[in-house]
Amino acid sequence: GAVVSQHPSRVICKSGTSVKIECRSLDFQATTMFWYRQFPKKSLMLMATSNEGSKATYEQGVEKDKFLINHASLTLSTLTVTSAHPEDSSFYICSARDRTNNSPLHFGNGTRLTVT
């Protein structure tokens, strides 16, 4: 089955630093990847849609200059949280679909970010 690898699984950083999270589709090509954020006991919130070779599409209220997304190839998207603050602490999950329009999303294992 389709596998999405996300790294790191857990990161602790100091306030003001930047953190990069990688998302890879291991056995399929993903023209589109999605980044979600989830706070404890809350539902998934779509942050942005990452499009290979073009700019990401951000959801309303998500700062594109703070959450930098790069989708340089059909198998890799990265999310960089810049100048992290404690309120950015959350569970970040990437997902990807293969090129078939009706295919489901496959999720990475998520990254637990803690900003101290």
Partner 1 sequence: QKEVEQNSGPLSVPEGAIASLNCTYSDRGSQSFFWYRQYSGKSPELIMSIYSNGDKEDGRFTAQLNKASQYVSLLIRDSQPSDSATYLCAVISSGSARQLTFGSGTQLTVLP
Contact residues for partner 1, defined by CB under 8 A: 6, 34, 43-44, 91, 93, 97, 101-102, 104-110, 112
> How far is it, in rounded angstroms, from Cα 3 to Cα 40?
25
User: Other CB atoms closer than 10 Å to residue 41's CB: what's the count?
Assistant: 5
Phi, psi of 88 (to 5 degrees): -85, -10
Q: Which is nearer to partner 1, 6 or 77 (CB)?
A: 6
Q: Which is nearer to partner 1, 82 or 112 (CB)?
A: 112
The sign of the dihedral angle between the CA atoms of 94, 99, 101, 104 is negative
Can you tell me whether residue 73 is helix, strand or coil? strand
The least distance separating partner 1 from the CB of residue 72, rounded to whole angstroms, comes to 22
Q: Which is nearer to partner 1, 2 or 82 (CB)?
A: 2
The least distance separating partner 1 from the CB of residue 16, rounded to whole angstroms, comes to 27
Q: Which is nearer to partner 1, 9 or 83 (CB)?
A: 9
The least distance separating partner 1 from the CB of residue 88, rounded to whole angstroms, comes to 18
User: Other CB atoms closer than 10 Å to residue 107's CB: what's the count?
Assistant: 17
